[in-house]
């Protein structure tokens, strides 16, 4: 499914505000562009769920982005590092922190907005059985030239200390098998129904 993005946020032009959360499949989206659109949308009162955060792309080659993250890791409180800043390693938390930086998170409306967003690695239940959307304004294939270098957030997280890359991969493979089986079954039923309509 494709969401048409306007300057006001993620709302499709024909939908307006809805009580159900918008579920976004983050695979192949650029980190900053997706974060800015999600930030705008949750500030307007819409709930958003972002899945497959480990598949988010960042422009610039992997080595350059890893150097940036290692520099970020050096920023700590000199006398008591346990007081922050906190360096999240999980892709979902990195995305969450990126969105937080685009919100007035110390004010009440910012805190409320942040509570409207959920982020996940992989696609956990019940979102695996719900319609997921993409945001064309943030897709890598539409926003940067094909020859430009990019890296994947999951790999970056893995190299700076995220321990669950293998676990998520296993769960995703299992989900894809179930999804394929469901799709095949659905296709067969649809074909039989169409055939029955013709026979009548």
pLDDT tens digits, 109-129: 999 999 999 999 999 989 999
Angstrom CA distances, 102 to 24, 43, 98, 177, 197, stand at: 18, 10, 7, 37, 53
Beta strand residue intervals within the chain, DSSP E: 22-25, 48-51, 57-59, 117-119, 150-152
- How many Cα neighbours within 13 Å face the side chain of 108? 0
Secondary structure of residue 134 in the 3-state scheme: strand
pLDDT given at position 115: 96
Hey, which residues does 150 pair with through a beta bridge?
A: 59
Distance of CA 30 to the CA centre of its chain: 9
Query: Is 139 within 8 Å of 7 (Cβ atoms)?
Result: no
> What residue ranges of the chain have pLDDT lower than 70?
1-16
Does the global pTM surpass 0.85?
A: yes
């Amino acid at each position: 499914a494709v969401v048409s993005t306007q300057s006001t946020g993620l709302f499709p032009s024909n939908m307006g505000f809805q009580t159900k959360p918008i579920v976004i499949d983050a695979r192949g989206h650029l980190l900053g562009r997706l974060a800015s659109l999600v930030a705008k949308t949750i500030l307007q009162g819409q709930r958003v769920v972002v899945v497959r955060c480990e598949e988010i792309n960042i422009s610039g080659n992997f080595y350059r982005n890893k150097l940036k993250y290692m520099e970020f890791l050096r920023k700590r409180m000199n006398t008591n590092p346990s007081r922050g800043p906190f360096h999240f390693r999980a892709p979902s938390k990195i995305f969450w922190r990126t969105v937080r930086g685009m919100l007035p998170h110390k004010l009440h409306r910012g805190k409320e907005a942040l509570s409207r967003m959920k982020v996940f690695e992989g696609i956990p239940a019940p979102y695996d059985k719900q319609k997921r959307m993409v945001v064309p304004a943030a897709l890598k294939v539409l926003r940067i030239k094909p020859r430009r270098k990019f890296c994947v957030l999951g790999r970056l997280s893995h190299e700076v200390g995220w321990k669950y890359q293998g676990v998520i991969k296993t769960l995703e493979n299992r989900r894809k098998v179930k999804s394929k089986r469901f799709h095949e079954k659905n296709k067969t039923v649809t074909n039989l129904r169409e055939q029955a309509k013709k026979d009548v």
